[in-house]
Amino acid sequence: MMNRRQLLGAGTAGAALVSSQAWSQTSNMGLPEAALMDSAATAVTPRPSSGVDYNPVVTLNGWTLPYRMNNGVKEFHLVAEPVERELADGMIAHLWGYNGQSTGPTIEAVEGDRVRIYVTNKLPENTSVHWHGLILPSGMDGVVGLSHPGIKPGKTFVYEFDLTKSGTFMYHPHADEMVQMAMGMMGMFVVHPKDPTFMPVDRDFLIMLNAFDIDPGTYVPKIMTMNDFNLWTWNSRIFPDIDPLVVNKGDKVRVRVGNLTMTNHPIHMHGYDFKVTCTDGGWVPESAQWPEVSIDIPVGAMRAYEFTADHLGDWAIHCHKSHHTMNAMGHDVPTFIGVNKTQLTQKMRKFQPEYMPMGTAGMGDMGKMTMELPENTIPMMNGWGPHGPIEMGGMFSVVKVREGIEADDYEDPGWYKNPPGEQAYEWTGELPEFASNNSPKTILTPKSTREG
Ligand SMILES: [Cu+2]
């Protein structure tokens, strides 16, 4: 079987071979093949071999939908259907999505392109696709009943429009929206600038924030949940199984984050300050880009930020709402901090010999706890780092900045080894020799970064 990189490479190369001239006499082609993805690994798309050059985005634990050219029009085929998604290794969710996965594949095209997107409905109810943020004719806007009738089960609709601007957009149903989005139907739509020298970056990461409420031992999200979700996901994936953002030192990096959950998410990245360069409304002019270390992503919005990867290391990137860096947990657990549970433990063990008292000294110890779980769930926080449990889950990953990483290499380079003297250590009564020789070095953050 081909791996995902080969599959996508073949798809894109195949599309590139079909020049617009070759098809100028045959305007009556059948449906484009609907590419299908069966894995939650991150697929890296090769640069286009013809047409406008651009640096494809990297969708963490996701992929880009292949297209074909038909008489100068880029044709895509989305299939809305029930899918099985690995939220984490060993945890499957029964969702609705597109082309085998939730979130759906990223659609990538170029400003000035005309796109024709076939949408086949394999769901048990009607659906539609709304193209969030794109400027298009109102009949192509995908609001069921308003823009066009619902796409009935088994039917295929065609959306066709010109991409009038570059930027980062989203797609999702505007039909039984509460249910279909709670079930995982959403994806991102990236339009690259037609001028390759406009806003270029070396690495361009894509994250869709989404959330599910799936009881341990079950597989289908509870669609009526409004706020109290128990799985906070990036591209329908949870830490520790969200892939790292692998970066070569010195790279110019963009991270595009869309939010189709029911609440806002302040995304915080360690080790850097960055500039907010794009919203789903368009690019932010350089004079108006503002510096941040956390950027709040409102509901139904996208924010992109950029930085130059000058600082080697392993840097956390996560939602700053601490309940969103946890996996399946009940929120009605009482607080036991400061409570002596000795007597309770003795009584409980008469009924349940393995009972473990929890929470009297905080809950950090749960990060290294192994106890038997119901089927199809994973612990609240079980990511391990080089120095022990990371005590995080949910919306968390690591930006890994290294030297000598090839341009198209996104393989996990392992953990960063901090140089001597650059890692916090236990005080054992006196300073080690390297510390007693330390004195301030006059290193200032470059003026450009300080003052923008
Ligand atoms: Cu959050």
Angle at the Cα of 28 (from 22 to 32), degrees rounded to 5?
80
CA of 123 to the centre of ligand 1 (A): 29
CA of 216 to the centre of ligand 1 (A): 21
Residue in this structure with the two tokens 């860096």, named with its chain if needed: 325
In-domain check, residue 145? yes
In-domain check, residue 58? yes
In-domain check, residue 154? yes
Of 4-18, 66-80, 152-166, least confident by mean pLDDT is: 4-18
Is residue 133 classed as helix, strand or coil in its secondary structure?
coil
Per-residue model confidence (pLDDT) at position 357 = 62
Which pLDDT tens digit goes with each residue over 92-137?
999 999 999 999 999 999 999 999 999 999 999 999 999 999 999 9
Per-residue model confidence (pLDDT) at position 19 = 35
Is residue 253 classed as helix, strand or coil in its secondary structure?
strand
CA of 137 to the centre of ligand 1 (A): 34
CA of 395 to the centre of ligand 1 (A): 7
- Strand pairing of 282-283 and 274-279? antiparallel
For the cut 90, the answer to whether the pLDDT of residue 12 exceeds it is no
Long-range contacts of 444-449, Cβ-Cβ distance < 8 Å, separation of 24 or more: 449/273, 449/291
CA of 323 to the centre of ligand 1 (A): 7
Contact call for residues 396 and 322 (beta carbons, < 8 A) = no
In-domain check, residue 102? yes
Domain total in the chain:
1
Q: What is the Cα–Cα distance from 345 to 354, expressed in whole angstroms?
A: 10
In-domain check, residue 277? yes
For the cut 50, the answer to whether the pLDDT of residue 18 exceeds it is no
Using pLDDT thresholds of 50, 70 and 90, give the confidence band for residue 349. Answer: confident
With a CB cutoff of 8 Å and minimum separation 6, the contacts of 441 are: none
The pLDDT of 317-341, averaged and rounded, is: 76
Per-residue model confidence (pLDDT) at position 347 = 73
CA of 324 to the centre of ligand 1 (A): 5
CA of 328 to the centre of ligand 1 (A): 14
The pLDDT of 156-177, averaged and rounded, is: 97
In-domain check, residue 364? no
Using pLDDT thresholds of 50, 70 and 90, give the confidence band for residue 366. Answer: low
Contact call for residues 328 and 340 (beta carbons, < 8 A) = no
Nearest alpha-carbon partner for 207 in 187, 226, 229, 185: 187
Q: What is the Cα–Cα distance from 306 to 109, expressed in whole angstroms?
A: 21
Query: What is residue 421's DSSP assignment?
Result: T
The amino acid at residue 228 is D
Residue in this structure with the two tokens 């270390």, named with its chain if needed: 293
With a CB cutoff of 8 Å and minimum separation 6, the contacts of 178 are: 223
CATH code where residue 246 lies: 2.60.40.420
Using pLDDT thresholds of 50, 70 and 90, give the confidence band for residue 31. Answer: very high
**Beta bridge pairs of residue 198:** none
Using pLDDT thresholds of 50, 70 and 90, give the confidence band for residue 149. Answer: very high
In-domain check, residue 356? no
For the cut 80, the answer to whether the pLDDT of residue 402 exceeds it is yes
In-domain check, residue 365? no
For the cut 90, the answer to whether the pLDDT of residue 180 exceeds it is yes
Q: Residue 171: in which H helix or E strand, if any?
A: strand 167-172
Per-residue model confidence (pLDDT) at position 159 = 98
- Residues of the chain with pLDDT > 70: what percent? 83
CA of 329 to the centre of ligand 1 (A): 15
CA-CA-CA-CA torsion sign (281, 165, 317, 371): positive
Contact call for residues 414 and 394 (beta carbons, < 8 A) = no
CA of 320 to the centre of ligand 1 (A): 6
CA of 394 to the centre of ligand 1 (A): 9
Domain boundaries, position 128 = 1-331+382-452
Per-residue model confidence (pLDDT) at position 17 = 34
Q: Which two tokens stand for residue 287?
A: 């004079």
CA of 196 to the centre of ligand 1 (A): 33
CA of 319 to the centre of ligand 1 (A): 5
Which pLDDT tens digit goes with each residue over 410-420?
999 999 999 98
CA of 429 to the centre of ligand 1 (A): 41
Using pLDDT thresholds of 50, 70 and 90, give the confidence band for residue 432. Answer: confident
CA of 322 to the centre of ligand 1 (A): 8
The amino acid at residue 341 is K
Longest Cα–Cα distance in the chain: 84
CA of 331 to the centre of ligand 1 (A): 15
Contact call for residues 78 and 61 (beta carbons, < 8 A) = no
Which pLDDT tens digit goes with each residue over 256-278?
999 999 999 999 999 999 999 99
What average pLDDT is seen over the chain? Answer: 87
CA of 157 to the centre of ligand 1 (A): 35
